[in-house]
Structure 1
Amino acid sequence: MTSTARTVRLKVSPQVARIVTKGAPREVQLNAARGALPLQGQDLLTTLLFLSHGTDTEIKSLAGATLREIPPGELAPVVENSEIHPQLLDFVARARIGDLVIMEPLLTNPAVSTETLVHVASHGEGGVLSLVAHLALRQPDSPEIAAAILGNPRADRAVKDRLEPAIPSPASAEDAADADGEPEESGDEAADDSEEMPVDEEEVNLSKYQQALEMGISEKIKMALTGDKEWRNIFIKDANKLVSSAVLKNPRVTEGEVLMIAKNKSSSEELIRLITLEREWVKQYEIKRALVLHPRTPLPKALRYMGFLTEKDLKNLAKSRGVAQALVNNARRMLADKNKKKG
Structure 2
Amino acid sequence: EEAHAELKRDYLIHDEKIELMQNIIDRQLKAVPDLYELGQEVSIYIGIPFCPTKCAYCTFPAYAIRGQAGRVGSFLWGLHYEMQKIGEWLEENDVSITTVYFGGGTPTSITAEEMDLLYEEMYRSFPDVKNIREVTVEAGRPDTITEEKLAVLKKWNIDRISINPQSYENETLKAIGRHHTVEETIEKYHLSRNAGMSNINMDLIIGLPGEGVKEFRNSLSETEKLMPESLTVHTLSFKRASEMTKNKHKYKVADREEIVAMMDDAVSWTKQHGYHPYYLYRQKNILGNLENIGYSLPGQESIYNIMIMEEKQTIIGIGCGAASKFVDPRTGKITHFSNPKDPKTYNDRFEHYTNEKIRYLSELFQKHAKSGSQQE
- For the criterion TM > 0.5, the same-fold answer is no
**Max Rg structure:** 1
Q: Which has the higher strand share?
A: 2
Q: Which has the higher helix share?
A: 1
TM-score (norm 1): 0.26
TM-score (norm 2): 0.24
Q: Does 1 or 2 have the higher relative contact order (CA < 8 Å, sep 6+)? A: 2
